[in-house]
Amino acid sequence: MKTPLSVAALLILACFISISGQETAGVLPAKATVSNSAGANVPDLTEIYRVGVGDVLDVRLLNSANNRSTLFTVVGDGVIDLPIAGGTISVAGLTTEEIQTRIAAELKRRAVEEKAQVSVGVRQYLSHSVTVTGLVVNPGTRFLRREMVPLYVVLAESQLRNDGGRVMIMRDGIAGQAHDLSDPATLNLHVQTGDVITVTSRPQEFYYIAGRINYPGQKSFQPGITLLQAILAAGGTSRQEHRVEISREGADRRLVTIRYNIKQIKSGAVEDPKLKPGDRIEVGR
């Protein structure tokens, strides 16, 4: 089974997005904001990164005679040891911009530098990790560069296998529902630190076609297949039939039947409807 086009296209796009590695000091990600129910602006978690234990920071004093890069690791209690600022400074849970402000304020308080120009970047991202298992080429731990990232970013680095068709995200020890990877909405699901992402194959699914058709019966379902394609796959109609019905389960699990006119679909007057697994098609009733 080939990887659906929507998956491949998004994964190619994501190859240009790095998940882990280096970020130049002083170059900060844009901070988008959204409004919550109370009307206050809150950060978009896909646009920010809050430093955590294990991250390596690149701290520079730009208006100092010695502005070379200096690296500091965030240790177990969420601090870095910055001698010029008098010792340890708590940085865990802060953005690089907030750390810049905190260091500048401490330098001013200690009369080290009245108007310190501090630049802070993340050199190594090691505190935000997810685990990827299942039908990927490179399973294992992936490190995130934002509080949340779209699923396709993680799958781009893990390299989705051709037989990968569904994904499940476990969060806080609770397994979520399975999502179909042929659906672009699935690839845009947000993942966050601690998530376990499992890629599995898509279970075999069918639709059923009967009536005045050359080869009726149970047919293998492929995502995206349309009514006309299903009719052609079944050998076409046995006569010039124009009437066709699709029956499928509704929200209350009762069958809902929709009638179509093949001639109208072929002329473009009516959209060729996409099928769903389990659909029952009857031609020429």
Domain-by-domain residue ranges, the chain? Answer: 5-16+128-200, 50-124, 206-283
Share of the chain above pLDDT 70, in %: 82
Q: What is the pLDDT of residue 22?
A: 43
Q: 206-283 belongs to which CATH class?
A: alpha beta
Q: Do domains 5-16+128-200 and 206-283 have the same CATH topology?
A: yes
Tell me if residue 71 falls in helix, strand or coil.
strand
Q: Can you give the C-alpha Rg of the chain in angstroms?
A: 27
Phi, psi of 264 (to 5 degrees): -65, -35
Q: Does domain 50-124 have CATH number 3.30.1950.10?
A: yes
CA 124 – CA 74 distance, rounded (Å) = 11
Q: What is the pLDDT of residue 32?
A: 38
pLDDT digits (tens, 9 = 90+) for 117-159: 889 999 999 999 999 999 999 999 999 999 999 999 999 999 9
pLDDT digits (tens, 9 = 90+) for 181-233: 988 899 999 999 999 999 999 888 899 999 999 999 999 998 889 999 999 99
115-125 per-residue burial string, b: 16 or more CB within 10 A, e: under 16:
ebebbbbbbbb
Q: 5-16+128-200 belongs to which CATH class?
A: alpha beta
pTM: 0.67
**Please, what sign has the CA dihedral across residues 137, 142, 145, 150?**
positive
H or E stretch at 200: strand 196-200
Of 13-17, 74-78, 264-268, the one with minimum mean pLDDT is 13-17
